[in-house]
Amino acid sequence: LPSKLPNVGTTIFTVMSKLAAEVGAINLSQGFPGFDCSPELVSLVEHYLRRGFNQYAPMTGVPTLREALAQKTSDLYNVAYHPDTEVTITSGATEAIFAAVTAVIRPGDEVLVFEPAYDSYVPAIELNGGIPVYVTLTPPDYSIDWKTVREKITDKTRLILINTPHNPTGRVWTVDDLVQLANIVRDRDIWIVSDEVYEHILFDNRTHHSLMTHPVLQERTFIVGSFGKTFHITGWKIGYCLAPAELTREFRKIHQYLTFSTVTPIQYALADYLAQPAHYQELPTFYQRKRNLFLDGLRNSRFEFKPAEGSFFQTVSYAAITDEPDYDLAIRLTKEINVASIPVSVFYNQKNDYKILRFCFAKDDATLQKAAERLSRL
């Protein structure tokens, strides 16, 4: 069969998690919490399962969850999305990203992608006949050179993909980034997909500047979120898309034929759970402690790093230790010292190798300490 994605193999997350399991390594590669979600949330799901909420949910998502999301969004960012026409529940952020890209992109359209980029973006663009145009971000800052962005915009640019807080670098967008982007897209037929799945995981008193908070951006943006990151339930695969009614109308045309709807009892449970802000307000403190614990463990190592600004990933440079390719090193460390990571070159189109590994610190303290100890011996 001629491949529609000739440049794509099995995703790095599957490769590294499988290897980690085979050799019994500490798995800091694929991003998922190493601890369980709240028992209260499990009880809520059980409650709805037992009460017979087991048939198809409405295509757009259950009303209570759409309402709870609209309420949270208005409380946090002071932006109103109508739960009936502007909020859609999806099977994870992955589905929302795919549906939003599909809603916008026609063959030959150009899509601006900041790399390193989360690995589902480019396949979504290419399967729709779009052409990814890369803006390369480099360590240690991964900050955006807006002059380069302006130079890459053409008459064919239809979409820009944003991710803040950023996976894998942990970088967080500033207000200036929003203003710069708004000045570029104003008066152009350019839409935006903003992947904000780590919206509640920011450190050192940073604020999440959602793209919805800038009116010029809000009117053309599909905001994508995920409950997986926020409530430690990556295996439940529930996400959502917030977008103005006109965009949502097109988004839902795709969503209804991708998955139609999303698992019913969990949506009801999340609606109840989301109503209590404490359930997500605790995340910065919770994860900042873990980030610091991991980094304290690496202080006397030869790794170099800037503390992540957000997300639950920390990137480190190993340039002072070896000049091996990052992919080879990630495999070797998994086998030899039993600590699995992600080589950041996989997130670059040209596989640029800046000698950086990504570690997920959403793990219990003892695991983080043990991993840091092993890494410090290098």
* Chain residues in the site for ligand PMP (CB under 6 A): 31, 92-94, 118, 163, 167, 195, 197, 226, 228, 234, 237, 239
Q: Is the separation of the CB atoms in 211 and 162 below 8 Å? A: yes
Cα torsion angle, 272, 277, 283, 285, sign? negative
> By C-beta, is 220 or 291 nearer to ligand GLN?
291
Which of ligand GLN, ligand PMP, none interacts with 314 (beta carbon under 5 to 8 A by kind)?
none
Q: Is the separation of the CB atoms in 226 and 238 below 8 Å? A: yes
CB neighbour list of residue 41: distance below 8 Å, 6 or more residues apart: 231, 233, 269, 270, 273
> By C-beta, is 139 or 168 nearer to ligand PMP?
168
Q: Minimum distance between the CB of residue 312 and ligand GLN, rounded to whole angstroms?
A: 9
Rounded to 10°, the helix 12-23/326-336 angle is 20
Which of ligand PMP, ligand GLN, none interacts with 228 (beta carbon under 5 to 8 A by kind)?
ligand PMP
Site for ligand GLN in 26-55 (CB under 6 A): 30-31
Binding ligand GLN by CB under 6 A: which of 91, 157, 163, 167? Answer: 167
Q: Tokens at residue 10, please?
A: 């099995």
Which of ligand GLN, ligand PMP, none interacts with 195 (beta carbon under 5 to 8 A by kind)?
ligand PMP
Q: Minimum distance between the CB of residue 171 and ligand PMP, rounded to whole angstroms?
A: 12
Q: Minimum distance between the CB of residue 97 and ligand PMP, rounded to whole angstroms?
A: 6
> By C-beta, is 166 or 220 nearer to ligand GLN?
166
| Position with the least CB separation from ligand PMP | 92
Element (H, E) at 132: strand 131-136
> By C-beta, is 119 or 304 nearer to ligand PMP?
119
Q: Tokens at residue 272, please?
A: 């109840």
90 binds ligand GLN (CB under 6 A): no
> By C-beta, is 30 or 314 nearer to ligand GLN?
30
Exposure string of 146-161, with b = 16+ CB inside 10 Å and e = fewer, is: beebeeebeeebbbbb
Q: Minimum distance between the CB of residue 229 and ligand PMP, rounded to whole angstroms?
A: 6
> By C-beta, is 94 or 248 nearer to ligand PMP?
94
CB neighbour list of residue 167: distance below 8 Å, 6 or more residues apart: 31, 118, 197, 198, 311, 313
Distances (CA, A) of 299 to 51, 146, 304, 376: 52, 33, 9, 8
Amino acid in position 141: D
CB neighbour list of residue 312: distance below 8 Å, 6 or more residues apart: 31, 33, 198, 201, 229, 287, 290, 291, 360, 361, 362
Q: Tokens at residue 263, please?
A: 């698992």
| Position with the least CB separation from ligand GLN | 31
> By C-beta, is 31 or 165 nearer to ligand GLN?
31
13 binds ligand GLN (CB under 6 A): yes
Residues forming the site for ligand GLN (CB under 6 A): 11, 13, 30-31, 167
